[in-house]
Amino acid sequence: MDTPAQRAAEYVRMSTEHQQYSIANQSAAIREYANAHSIEIVRTYVDSGKSGLALDGRKDLQTLLRTVISGNADFEVLIVYDVSRWGRFQDVDESAYYEYSLKKAGVPVIYCAEPFRETGSAMDALIKTLKRVMAAEFSRELSVKVSAGQRRIAQSGYRLGGVAGFGFRRVAVDTTGSRRMVLADGERKSIQTDRVTLVHGPRDEVRAVRKVFALFVSHGFGETKIAAYLNERGILTRSGNRWCQETIHRMLTNPKYAGDMVFNQTLTKMGSSPVKNPREKWIYVPNRFQPIISREVWNEAQNIVEKRGEPALDGDVLALLRALLAKHGRLSSKLIDAEPGMLSAQTYQRRFGSLIEAYRRIGWGAHRRYKEIARRAEVRACYHALELAMTSRIAEIADHFSKHPRKPAWTVNDEISMYAAVAVARKYEGTGLVWKFHGPREARVDMLVIARLKFGTTEILDYYVFPGCYARPIKIFEQNPWSLDIHRFEDLRFLDLACRRTKLPDIGDPDV
């Protein structure tokens, strides 16, 4: 009787859409290996056009991991073309961790194009580790080269990706600067040596941009009032959305409307979050595009923005708020933002800690609808109390730890990372009390701690402790299934288990 073929899944990945044959080539090599070893491919997982730097965004790899770890896999082995297709994780331990998770669940990973095999020998383990390091280093070297190339292109005054923005369209030009074609949103230039620049978009968009600057400079409109002006006339953004204060502010401070090209305002490396660059690192090329507004209007708009951000005496800004109250008989963030010459509501909030405090200083008792805002301040205080309590408890238990300067996040013994959050109860008809947690989605955190508050108070009811990879959003009810309540703890004693190291007994001299 013939032995049944071993059942396997294949995982293939390519980084960009330009690698149009990569997926097919990987799959062909995997299936050739499978045929030679009497293996049947029963499942295919594909992450097309996805970076290998992190797990985020690679939906099929995430599905693969969940399927295997949950015990629902209908295959016995996973075949991948090589280590780089598995990922170019900058921490090679992360690459090994995902592979080990599958192996522990009974599904080993085979790299069919690599020289090593899963023999368990020290040499194979060494070669695999070197391959992981090489895969990570390739991405680092490529990042440096790509960054240098982008800066050279930007210094020549050409665009490097991103949308054109309201009032503009992207156009591909050849090496002589002659126009080839206007690019649709999301469309790439077809010839590698071509470059991308900006031209005026439809006339109604150009007119709307000029109107925005005129309202701001000549009529004293604030961003919120300008957004309302556009929305009332049915003028939508390029993405089809309504205008808001933030989108108008970005337009008013974007140099491209005066014809200037700016690059390198933010820095993003190896899949990390963007970080603002200091102004001296920006690449600024003036008079690169056909401007929509004049240089004089642009300069005046920037003067208004900068002057509005200058510090003033508390008495002066409160006098403005008092005058606004006398004018309307009430106050709100919308009224503040819409009033010409006023500081923004966000500025009042930063300056006095909250709008409620600013209102109190001018002697106005906030309407009952502001109670929720005051409630947020109480929750923030609870947040800080939880942060202090956990820091104190971790300090008692752990050998050493580090605390994030701005977030309730800790790294303990250089081994485990954790993040804490507070969940407030909301009452819904039919479901009763619900505690929801949406984010933030902390990258590579091992443990997520959610403190539930008693309904209508800031007293902590209990704690739920989840793995960092737990799916968001999290909903906790008054009565929960056992699969959720196994994560529940009544106090902070769970930190003893998470942070305390277990000392191994002394087994004596191994040479004796």
Three-state secondary structure readout of 140-183: HHHHHHHHHHHHHHHHCCCECCCCCCCCEEEEEECCCCCEEEEE
Q: Do residues 128 and 253 make contact, with C-beta atoms less than 8 angstroms apart?
A: no
Task: Give the model's pLDDT for residue 370.
Answer: 55
CA dist., res. 158 & res. 263, Å (int): 9
Q: What is the pTM of this model?
A: 0.48
Q: Do residues 291 and 210 make contact, with C-beta atoms less than 8 angstroms apart?
A: no
Q: What share of the chain is helix, strand, coil (3-state, %, to 5)?
A: 40, 20, 40
Query: What secondary structure does DSSP assign to 40-83, as a single string?
Result: EEEEEEEETT--SS-STT-HHHHHHHHHHHTT--S-SEEEES-H
Q: Do residues 95 and 53 make contact, with C-beta atoms less than 8 angstroms apart?
A: no
In tens, the pLDDT along 410-441 reads 999 888 899 998 988 888 777 788 898 876 55
Task: Give the model's pLDDT for residue 464.
Answer: 94
Q: Do residues 47 and 59 make contact, with C-beta atoms less than 8 angstroms apart?
A: yes
> Does position 400 have pLDDT exceeding 90, yes or no?
no
State the residue for tokens 């003893």.
Answer: 496
Task: Give the model's pLDDT for residue 112.
Answer: 92
Task: Give the burial class of 216: count Cβ atoms within 10 A of its Cβ; 0-12 exposed, 13-18 middle, 19 or more buried.
Answer: buried
Does the domain at 6-140 match CATH 1.10.3720.10? Answer given as: no
Chain mean position to CA 445 = 14
Backbone angles phi, psi at 297, to 5 degrees: -65, -40
In tens, the pLDDT along 189-222 reads 777 777 888 889 999 999 999 999 999 999 888 8
Each domain of the chain, given as residue ranges in start order, spans 6-140, 168-305, 314-366, 373-499
CA dist., res. 14 & res. 20, Å (int): 9
> Does position 442 have pLDDT exceeding 70, yes or no?
no
CA dist., res. 170 & res. 349, Å (int): 39
**Where residue 319 falls among pLDDT bands split at 50, 70, 90?**
confident
CA dist., res. 84 & res. 52, Å (int): 8
> Does position 503 have pLDDT exceeding 70, yes or no?
no
Strands of the sheet with 77-80, listed across from one edge:
39-47, 6-13, 77-80, 109-111
CA Rg value for the chain = 29
In tens, the pLDDT along 356-375 reads 788 888 888 655 455 555 56
> Does position 1 have pLDDT exceeding 50, yes or no?
no
- Answer with the residue of higher pLDDT: 169 or 15: 169
Task: Give the model's pLDDT for residue 236.
Answer: 92
In tens, the pLDDT along 8-29 reads 999 999 876 555 558 889 999 9
pLDDT (mean) for 233-259: 90
| Residues, the chain | 512
- Answer with the residue of higher pLDDT: 209 or 502: 209
Task: Give the model's pLDDT for residue 300.
Answer: 92
- Answer with the residue of higher pLDDT: 243 or 21: 243
> Does position 510 have pLDDT exceeding 50, yes or no?
no
> Does position 337 have pLDDT exceeding 70, yes or no?
yes
CA dist., res. 206 & res. 164, Å (int): 13
Could you give the percent of the chain with pLDDT greater than 70? 87
Does the domain at 168-305 match CATH 3.40.47.10? Answer given as: no
| Identity at 504, one-letter amino acid code | L
pLDDT (mean) for 318-338: 86
CA dist., res. 45 & res. 66, Å (int): 12
Asked if residue 473 has a cis previous peptide bond (ω within 30° of 0), the answer is yes
pLDDT (mean) for 136-144: 74
Q: What residues form DSSP beta bridges with 12?
A: 46
In tens, the pLDDT along 444-470 reads 688 999 999 988 788 899 999 998 877
